[in-house]
């Protein structure tokens, strides 16, 4: 399904991150810095709305930065913050203060999955963001995602997998790359993934019909608009049929079905791990 990664992680002592008021004050003092400030979206902004901004200095020419004293103050503060860290890897980052610790600056539309989502939601609100937005490390990013991939990730099949093997933050769902995304069995061949494209688009169109609402409002089970619910139900049926022609009537049936291919996927890894463990035990016994 593609490689899922975390978003940008600046490790900047909050010197590069601004709320709307801070951004306005900063640009009043240094208006020439406007092209360097980009929207910065984490799980909270993605789900609930609101704005944050971040200085993106990765490709800024030195001669441009030299003319921006306020920006240079921020760079110096980041360098000092990292240099004072107790973490050796963070101190090493002080040598490149215009870069983040994790640098994810997509140049094309990208899919995001919030790391944490309310347990009340039937679906984690997966969706697309576009440049110049920079995703934070509180969302996962999938570049070059297609409508069929979106369909799989926002389906009841995937939600059932998340609910049964994913972690929790208090009671909320905690999505993870290794535990949830990488282990999720995709539909077996010869499933035609293109068949769910119009169903996926219908979900996106239903969201657009309520553009004034946040995703948190759209996916509140008490507030979810009927057209969005119908679109998701149709998508669920379409994805279910990719796995089994008869579909699934209850979530437990989905989970039971998914564990069979998962066990086949994990068997070689388990066997390899046992082999390595046996080799280590053999070497120790020879000493």
Looking at residues 267-274, what average pLDDT do you find?
Answer: 54
Q: What is the value of pTM for the model shown?
A: 0.90
Cα–Cα distance, 103 to 75 (Å, whole number): 16
Q: Is 153 within 8 Å of 188 (Cβ atoms)?
A: no
Q: Which helix (H) or strand (E) holds 158?
A: helix 156-165
Sign of CA dihedral 224, 228, 231, 235: negative
CB-count burial class (<10 Å; 0-12, 13-18, 19+) for 177: middle
What confidence tens digit (pLDDT) does each residue in 133-167 have? 999 999 999 999 999 999 999 999 999 999 999 99
What is the average pLDDT score of the chain? 93
- Comparing CA positions, the residue from 152, 165, 149 lying closest to residue 123 is 152
What confidence tens digit (pLDDT) does each residue in 51-82 have? 999 999 999 999 999 999 999 999 999 999 99
DSSP state letters, 242-281: HH-TT--SSHHHHHHHHHHHHHHHHHHHHHHHHHHHHHHH
What confidence tens digit (pLDDT) does each residue in 167-197 have? 988 889 999 999 999 999 999 888 899 999 9
At 190 the pLDDT is 87
- Comparing CA positions, the residue from 140, 173, 145 lying closest to residue 159 is 173
Q: Which residues of 97-123 are buried (b: 16+ CB within 10 A; e: fewer)?
A: bbebeeebbbeeebbbbbbbbbeebeb
Dump strand ranges (E) for 139-279.
139-143, 167-169, 172-174
- The confidence band for 265, taking pLDDT boundaries of 50, 70 and 90, is confident
Hey, is 43 helix, strand or coil?
A: helix
At 169 the pLDDT is 86
């Amino acid at each position: 399904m593609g490689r899922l990664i975390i978003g940008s992680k600046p490790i900047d002592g909050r010197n590069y991150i601004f709320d709307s008021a801070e951004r306005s004050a900063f640009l009043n003092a240094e208006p020439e810095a406007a092209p360097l400030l980009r929207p910065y979206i984490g799980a909270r902004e993605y789900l609930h709305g609101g704005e944050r901004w971040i200085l993106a200095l990765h490709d800024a020419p030195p001669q441009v930065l030299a003319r921006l004293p306020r920006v240079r103050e921020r760079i110096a503060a980041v360098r000092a913050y990292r240099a004072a860290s107790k973490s050796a890897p963070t101190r090493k980052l002080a040598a490149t203060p215009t870069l983040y610790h994790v640098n994810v600056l997509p140049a094309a539309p990208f899919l995001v999955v919030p790391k944490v989502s309310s347990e009340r939601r039937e679906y984690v609100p997966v969706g697309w963001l576009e440049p110049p937005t920079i995703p934070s490390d509180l969302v996962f990013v999938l570049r070059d995602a297609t409508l069929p991939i979106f369909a799989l990730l926002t389906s009841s099949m995937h939600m059932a997998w998340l609910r049964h093997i994913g972690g929790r933050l208090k009671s909320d769902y905690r999505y993870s790359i290794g535990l949830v995304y990488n282990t999720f069995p995709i539909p077996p061949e010869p499933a035609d993934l293109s068949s769910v494209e119009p169903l996926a688009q219908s979900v996106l169109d239903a969201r657009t019909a309520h553009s004034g609402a946040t995703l948190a409002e759209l996916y509140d089970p008490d507030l979810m608009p009927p057209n969005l619910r119908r679109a998701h139900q149709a998508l669920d049926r379409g994805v279910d049929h990719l796995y089994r022609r008869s579909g699934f009537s209850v979530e437990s049936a989905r989970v039971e079905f998914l564990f069979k291919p998962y066990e086949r996927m994990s068997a070689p890894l388990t066997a390899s791990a046992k082999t390595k463990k046996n080799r280590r035990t053999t070497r120790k016994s020879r000493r």
